Amino acid sequence: MFSARKLPGGCRAVRLQPLRSHVVSRSSPDLTFVPACLPADPGEIKELQHFISQSKKLFVMTGAGVSTESGIPDYRSEGVGLYARTDRRPVQHGEFLRSARARQRYWARNFVGWPQFSSRRPNVAHLVLRDWEQHGKLHWLVTQNVDALHGKAGSQRLTELHGCTHRVSCLGCGDQSARSELQERFAALNPTWKAEAFGVAPDGDVFLTDDQVRTFQVPACSKCGGILKPDVTFFGDTVSREKVNFVHQRLAESDSMLVAGSSMQVYSGYRFALAAREKRLPIAVLNIGPTRLDHFASLKLNSRCGELLPLINAH
């Protein structure tokens, strides 16, 4: 079920109906794309509990490490991320704009991967953050992920910093539509086209050969004939100034910052950690592996988000 609401920056958001907690909480985490780490020790739990208890208006930023336990791979995790498993790299913004062949390749891969990617469900970490919001602990949540899992979990005080693959935008007229509608158009244009995927990648696509992609047909915008693009910030593109300013305003209203599941290697997110440091806000980092914040964070925890966050009392 989809509904539309206004996003910071004036664009329309296609909202997915939240899932009930029990649908997700009974399932086991998918650890296929989660780096190995030691179990959280009592000391880590106590430290994070103290940090959260002291926070009254918590600003949270999440990255791919929150969604890996839902079976969605990330780019940088040691041993299991895309960069560790393959030499494939994500599409660049400029390449997508100037090359019809690049768009054909992107959409063919996305078409094959979409049924599996779109069926992914929030894990317990998403649900915990939703609950913190409902209890008044979480002031604002900013995610660098484009998988819609926070929205599916029911988070409302949410900014999708890099957009969302569940929306499609026309680069000509700006019209927005649901990605599920485009899947039907792809199927109608390519009734006999078939392709076998060679591995799964982040952000909803799969690996295909050039021969498989060559005959795939890509539709244009049904309103103006323009180029269709997922409503996400590709590598090489920038987040809108309006959205960045909006997030800075939410950060200014907050009294602490938690980074969960992100190495913060991408500047579009890292800038908010730098702003939090300038404001002298306490910063906690929960991530498997090193991050750009480790040298100035108040607290660094090297555990799974889905393991540690449910142990914290947010009341």
Three-class HEC string of 130-166: HHHHHCCCEEEEEECCCCCHHHHHCCCCEEECCEEEE
Which two tokens mark 23? 């649908």
Distance between CA atoms of residues 208 and 108, nearest Å: 8
Contact by Cβ (8 Å): 259, 284: yes
pLDDT surpassing 50 at residue 6: no
- Which DSSP state fits 204? G
pLDDT surpassing 70 at residue 41: yes
User: How many residues are present in the chain?
Assistant: 315
User: pLDDT tens, 110-169?
Assistant: 999 899 889 999 999 999 999 999 999 999 999 999 999 999 999 999 999 999 999 999
Choose among 304, 208, 297: nearest CA to 256.
297
**Would you list which residues are annotated within the binding site?**
63-83, 144-147, 170, 173, 221, 224, 261-263, 287-289, 305
Distance between CA atoms of residues 293 and 178, nearest Å: 36
**Would you list which residues are annotated within the binding site for NAD(+)?**
63-83, 144-147, 261-263, 287-289, 305
Q: Find where tokens 């997700």 sit.
A: 24
User: pLDDT tens, 184-230?
Assistant: 999 999 999 988 766 566 566 677 888 889 999 999 999 999 999 99
The class (CATH top level) of 43-72+122-160+238-315 is alpha beta
User: pLDDT tens, 242-266?
Assistant: 999 999 999 999 999 999 999 999 9
For the chain, the domains span 43-72+122-160+238-315, 74-119+168-230
Q: Find where tokens 């103006």 sit.
A: 224
Where is pLDDT greater, at 278 or 25?
A: 278
Distance between CA atoms of residues 141 and 293, nearest Å: 18
The predicted model scores a pTM of 0.85
Distance between CA atoms of residues 10 and 18, nearest Å: 23
pLDDT of residue 39: 82
Which stretch of DSSP H or E encloses residue 112? helix 100-118
Catalytic residue numbers read: 162
Which stretch of DSSP H or E encloses residue 64? helix 64-67
